[in-house]
Amino acid sequence: MKQILQSLKNGKTEVAEVPCPAVKRGHLLVRSSRTLVSVGTERMLVDFGKAGWIEKARQQPDKVRMVLDKIKTDGLMPTIESVLNKLDQPLPLGYCNVGRVLEAGSGLIGYAPGDRIVSNGKHAEAVCVPVNLTARVPDNVSDEEAAFTVLGAIALQGIRLVQPTLGETVVVTGLGLIGLVTVQLLRSHGCRVLGLDFDPEKLALARKFGAETVNLAAGEDPVKAAQAYSRGRGVDGVIITAATKSNEPMHQAALMCRKRGRIVLVGVTGLELSRADFFEKEITFQVSCSYGPGRYDPNYEEKGNDYPVGFVRWTEQRNFEAILDMMSDGRLDVKPLISHRFSIEDAEQAYELVGGAGPSLGILLEYPAIATKSDAAVRQSTVAIPAGTARGVPAVPGASIGLVGSGNYATAVLIPAFKAAGARLRTVASSAGVSGLHAGRKYGFEQTTTDSDSIFSDASVNALVVATRHDNHASMVVKALRAGKHIFVEKPIALTEAELSEIEGAHADLAAKGTAPLVMVGFNRRFAPQVAKMKSLLAGARGPKAFVMTVNAGAIPAEHWTQDRDVGGGRIVGEGCHFIDLLRFLAGERITAVRTNTMECPSADSVSIELRFADGSIGTVHYLANGSKSFPKERVEVFAQGRVLQLDNYRRLTGFGWPGFKKMNLWSQDKGQKACAAAFVQAVAKGGASPIPFDELIEVGRATILAADLARAK
C-alpha cells in the first residue's frame, strides 16, 4: 500500500510502498478514502526537516541538553550515532482520516466490513486505529466533509476549555483551518466572534461564517478593535489558533481581555509571558491538548478503556461525534475550506504546496476506489526491498535472519550488530510497517512484512531475532522452538514463572530428541571487552568475591509501557535482568538466594537486589531511578582477594592492587552488542552450543522474576 513519509533529516516527503499494518486487538483496520493535510502542523514538520543542524538545535533546546548529558556519560561517537539514527527514521504524516472498515480486531463487537468511520489515521491507503479514536460517519456527511472531523475536534476542545456562555465575545487569533472551524463553532454556541489574520481570503471566509474581522496585514490595531467590539469592556476570551514563534499573540490576547478573561492556546506561539499582563486582570491561561480528554492516555487510546460519561462528558471520541453531528445538521460547513485535491500518487505535489509560499487551505488527499485497486492489493503484508548498496553478501553463510520488531533499539543497535556479524538479513517484521521498511532499506533486508507469522514458516530463515515489546517474548521463543528455528530474543526471556516453565518444557522435549535449536537472550554486557577482561582476571582469584553493581537507571513515567506489568513486566524484569546476568557471569557460580530492599516510593523503580552464589560470593545490584542523568548509568565494582576492579560505564576499567593490571580504557562506550550478535551468528552457522547456556538463561530469568515480586511486595 502507499503511505506518505517525511524525513526529519532533510525534510523530503515521499510516497512509499509499505506493507499493510496488521490489525491489533481493540483496533480497526480501515481502508482510506480521504485524508486531510493539517497545513499548520505538517508544515512545521517539513520546515523542521529542511532546517540545518543549528536551526534544529535552536528549535529544541531541551533535546540539546539531553545530547550534552549523553556525551558526558557515553562519549561523543555513540551520541552522534544515536542522534543521527533518530533523525534518520521516517515520520508517517497525517492525523485526519476517513474510510471504510476492512477488519475489526479481537475484542470489538458492532463493527462490520464496509462501516464508514473517521479516525486519526495517517496518510496511507490502510490504517490500523484504536477504536476510541474513531467515530461513525452519518449517511448525509460526505467523505470530504468527514475528513475535517479530527481537526474540528481540536477546535472544539479549545472552545470547551475557554468555557464560553451565550452572548460572550471571543477573539480567534489565526484563521487557518482550525481557526475558521473555531469561528463557526463559537457562532453556533451563541458567541460574538472577532477574527484576526493577515490573509484577506481567510478574513473573508470568517466574515461569511458570521465573525467580525481585523486585517493585521493592513495595520489594523487588534487591541483597539477588540475594545470597540466588546463595548469597551474587554473580550471574555481569546482562542489562539495561530502558528508563530512570536510572543505577540499572547501579549495582545492579554491586552484584549477583560478582568478575569480566559486565554486558550490551541496553536503554537512564543510563550514569554509578561506577568503584568496577567497579574492585574487575573487572566486565566491554558494550553489545549489535541482532541480532548483521553489524548496520550494509553489506557484510553491503546487499551480501549473509555471514561464514564457521567464523570468525563467529552472525550476524544465524543468530540469526534459532536463535530460529525454539527456537520450533519448544517451548523458546521467545511466545504468552503477545501482549496486543493490531490491523489495519493501526487502527494509530493501537495507537500510542495504546503512548504511553499502559495495560497492553500484545506488540502485533501484522495485514495483509489475498489474499482481501481482491490482490497487484497491494499492489504499486501509483505513488500520486497530492491537490492541496493546496503545489502552486500553475508560473510557467514548459514545464518539467515528474520527479525521481529524494528523499534529504536533494534534499528540503532541490534540490526547493525547482526549486519556487522555477517548474517543474511532476510526479513524484518513490524506491526505498522513503516519502521520495518526503514530498517529494511537502511540495512539491506530482502523484504519487510507486517505478518510476523510468515517468518516462522519461511524455510529460508533459520534464526529469529525478537526485539518486540516484552509481553510476547516468551510465546515467540516457544513458537520458534516448535518451528525448529534458532532464536535470539532481547531481554527479558519471559515475564512470569509460568512462561519460563513453558519455555523449559518446550526446550526439554526437543533436547531429549537432540533437535533443540539454540536459544539466546541479548545479555550483551557479558560480551563487552572490558567485562571479558574482568572475567579473565577473576579466573585467577581464589575464594568468594563481592560484586557491587550501581545502575543510575533514571525515572520513567508510570504510564510508560515498560511499567505496565502485563506488557513490559516492570523495570526490574524488563531491564534489571541485564545486571543480574552480568553478576552471574562474573561470579561463574549458580545463584542460590535472592533478597530485595525497596525504597519507600509509589513504584518499585529504586531497589537493591542482593544475590548469593553457590561458592559463597555475594552481589548487590543497586537499581536506582532517583539519580541525575548527567551521572554515568552503570558501574561495576568487584572485591576479590585483596584486590578491586572498577568498571565505569563500559569506558574505563581500573584495577586496584591487581598484579600486572592497572587500567583498560576505551575511546567510546562498548556494551558488547556487536560481540553478542556475532557469537550467536557464529553458533548458528557452525552448529555450536549457545554462547550462553540455556540453564543460565532460565536461572537468571527465574531470579529476576523473584526479585521483582519481592520488590513489589515490600
Place of cell 477546535: 155
Same domain, 601 and 485: no
Q: Long-range contacts for 219-228 (Cβ within 8 Å, ≥24 apart)?
A: 222/171, 222/173, 222/196, 222/252, 222/256, 223/252, 223/255, 223/256, 225/194, 226/171, 226/194, 226/256, 227/256
Q: What is the pLDDT of residue 13?
A: 87
Q: And the C-alpha cell for 445? A: 533486508
Helix, strand, coil shares of the chain as percentages rounded to 5? 40, 25, 40
Report whether 571 contacts 553 (CB < 8 A).
yes
437 and 586 within one domain: no
Domain of 229: which CATH number?
A: 3.40.50.720
Return the SS3 of 63: helix
Q: Distance (Å, rounded) from C-alpha 212 to C-alpha 193?
A: 6
The β-bridge relationship of strands 212-215 and 643-648 is: unpaired
Q: Is there a single domain that holds both residue 606 and residue 707?
A: yes
| Residue 258, C-beta contacts closer than 8 angstroms, at least 6 positions apart | 230, 233, 234, 235, 236, 281
Angle between helices 497-513 and 473-483 (to 10 degrees): 10
Whole-angstrom distance, CA of residue 274 vs CA of residue 285: 12
Cell of 312: 468525563
Q: Specify the amino acid at residue 527.
A: F
CA dihedral (656, 657, 658, 659) positive or negative: positive
Alpha helices, DSSP H only, in 18-130?
39-50, 53-59, 61-74, 76-88
Which neighbouring-strand residues pair with 36? 364
Rounded distance, CA 255 to CA 558, Å? 40
Q: Which residue range(s) make up the domain with 227?
A: 151-287
Rg over alpha carbons for the chain, rounded to the nearest Å, is 29
In this structure, are 44 and 64 located in the same domain?
A: yes
Assess whether 346 and 203 both reside in one domain. no
Q: Please report whether residue 303 resides in a domain.
A: no
pLDDT at residue 76 in the model: 63
The answer on 276 and 222 residing in a single domain is yes
Q: Which residues of the chain have pLDDT under 70?
A: 44-87, 388-393, 601-604, 714
**Confidence (pLDDT) at 475:** 97
CA dist., res. 32 & res. 35, Å (int): 7
Question: How many separate domains does the chain show?
Answer: 4
* pLDDT tens digit sequence for 300-351: 999 999 999 999 999 999 999 999 999 999 999 999 999 999 999 999 899 8
* Whether residue 136 is found in the same domain as residue 214: no
Residue 326 lies in a domain: no
- Does one domain contain both 136 and 184? no
Domain boundary among 491, 521, 551: 521
Q: Are residues 591 and 672 located together in one domain of the fold?
A: yes
Residues 354-411 pLDDT 10s = 877 778 899 999 999 877 888 888 989 999 998 765 666 677 788 999 999 999 899 9
pLDDT of residue 73: 60
Residues 6+ apart with CB under 8 A from 60: none
Our CA dihedral for 195, 199, 202, 203, rounded to 10 degrees, sits at 40
Helices (H), 415-514: 415-420, 434-443, 453-456, 473-483, 497-513
Task: For the beta carbon of residue 558, count every other beta carbon within 10 angstroms.
Answer: 10
CATH of the domain at 14: 3.90.180.10
SS3 289: coil
Say if 313 falls within a structural domain: no
Claim to verify: residue 481 and residue 614 sit in the same structural domain: no
d(CA 551, CA 202): 56
- Give residue 1's identity as a one-letter amino acid code: M
pLDDT value of position 308 = 96
pLDDT recorded at residue 150:
97
Looking at the fold, whether 363 and 395 belong to one and the same domain comes out as: no
